[in-house]
Copies of this chain bind each other. A is one copy, B any other.
């Protein structure tokens, strides 16, 4: 069953379904076939571009494909400006407020293509077609769009809800194993903070998911989407519960900072996997009845490459740099129980150091 996410100015559908079924979801979006824009990256275009074009052609769309270089560096003001130039050039049909934008790719394309759609002509209809597991279970839902600034990630952007999120689990078959594992880290995180039954599912099926079993991945996407949808419905503008999605992330961001934000060394999902082990240790210190060992055993099954030597003092310093803006002191998301999270502040440094030491062993 597709999910429906209501928001301040409307609602959108979230589905785990084949790309070829796009036509079944269009009537609810208010999008009519016609000229449209596809924002994608060159890798996704090469692997899946023909398939999307075929789907759009059959439905009567006339797509213009704007393909940008792959990777996080595409989330720049310069790349955004190039997209505006391409869309507004006289080469194609004139863009108007009915021109749909399809953001087709991983989290980078969802963020860049979403912000492009949010700001061209003060907002065009947006469809998110996430192609990585991380984007399918996390970043494509919830309306966050944006680009990076030299001083930090995602510092420029908008909350802009899509008209539809259609995640096709079949495209995950072309994902590199590390990207699949990274997405599974976020899916496991969703389970830990909100869904004890999904924790049990992963205890049974995580290895099959990591091996790319199509049925297991399809169920993973559908169940993890549901959790993310529930959280963003409750907290559209990130003033409350949405913070729980950051479980493990205060540690993860410090790890990414300490390793130069280089996904060749450590992907975001891998950092989250390590960060969750830290956060579980911290949770156990604050909620002694939590069966942290059981949960740590699950998280430990997520593959993480050998880490370079990391100094706890450096990581503690990196955490200070990452201090959540506007808050006094570091904030951590901890588990109170399986499937139940809370935000804590004022955690003694000694406990944080212990969490690092335990996880980095």
Contacts and interface: CB of A to CB of B under 8 A. Distances in A.
Interface of A: 8-9, 77, 80-81, 84-85, 88-90, 94-98, 115, 118-123, 144-146, 149-152, 154-159, 237, 325-326
A161 to B, nearest CB: 11
A97 B326 contact: yes
**A-B CB proximity, top 4 nearest:** A96-B326, A96-B325, A88-B151, A8-B9
A152 B95 CA distance: 12
B122 A146 contact: yes
Contacts of A98: 326
Copies in the complex: 2
A96 B155 CA distance: 10
Given A9-B8, A97-B326, A326-B96, A122 B88 contact: no
Contacts of A151: 88-90
A85, A122, A155 interface centre (most CB from chain B within 10 Å): A122
Given A98-B326, A325-B96, A326-B96, A84 B149 contact: yes
Q: Give the interface SS of chain A, mostly helix, strand, loop or mixed.
A: mixed
A115, A119, A120 interface centre (most CB from chain B within 10 Å): A119
Contacts of A159: 122-123
Contacts of A90: 151
A158 B326 contact: no
Given A85-B149, A95-B325, A122-B154, 12 more contacts: A9-B237, A77-B84, A84-B149, A85-B150, A88-B149, A90-B151, A96-B326, A119-B156, A119-B157, A121-B325, A122-B145, A158-B158
A25 B173 CA distance: 56
Contacts of A119: 115, 119, 156-158
A9, A96, A145, A156 interface centre (most CB from chain B within 10 Å): A156
B121 A158 contact: no
A122 B157 contact: yes
A237 B237 CA distance: 20
Nearest to A118: B158
Contacts of A121: 155-157, 325
